[in-house]
Structure formats: structure tokens, C-alpha cells
Amino acid sequence: MHTTIIITFGLVLLALMLFIGENIGFSRQTLTYSFIVLWLALTMINGAIGVVTAGQSVTTELVVGSIVFSIPVAALVLFMVMSSEA
């Protein structure tokens, strides 16, 4: 359940960054790089908390963390591909 909540948070964060960032005037390239760096940092912090506080193994957190990181990034790539001008 926690993994689903974190992935949902990542998707909401992505939507907010794209919506607010484009309204402010940031380029999509800047927003893309900013989201990836921010989401990677948040995923690593979440994994570290899982290892230290919840007692999860590092291997488990690496597997789950890669899934948690990759789903919002895949949504970002899909959005960028589908919204690009031809």
C-alpha cells in the first residue's frame, strides 16, 4: 500500500510541476530535468527511511525503489512523446 501511495504522489508531483511550471514559463526541458532529479532524491530518501526505520533489506528497497522511480518517469516520457509537435 505504501508503494502505491508513493507512486501516486510522484504522479501528482509530476502533474503539478508540469502544470505550474509551464504556466510560469519554464521550458519543458528544464521541468523534465528538475522532476527527474527531485524524484530521484525523494525516492532515495524514501528507500533510506525504509531501510533504517522499517527494517527492510537494502536489496528489497533497491527493487521497490527502482519501480517507484521508474513509473512516474515513464509517465513523463510518455507525456513528452505524446505532446511533442511533429
pLDDT attached to residue 84:
80
Each residue of 37-77: pLDDT tens digit?
999 999 999 999 999 998 899 999 999 999 999 999 999 99
- What does the block give as the cell for 13? 508531483
Q: pLDDT per residue over 10-30, tens digit each?
A: 999 999 999 999 999 999 999
Instruction: Note the pTM of the prediction, 2 decimals.
Output: 0.91
The domain ranges of the chain are 2-83
Distance between CA atoms of 56 and 33, rounded to whole angstroms? 30
pLDDT tens-digit series, residues 27-39: 999 999 999 999 9
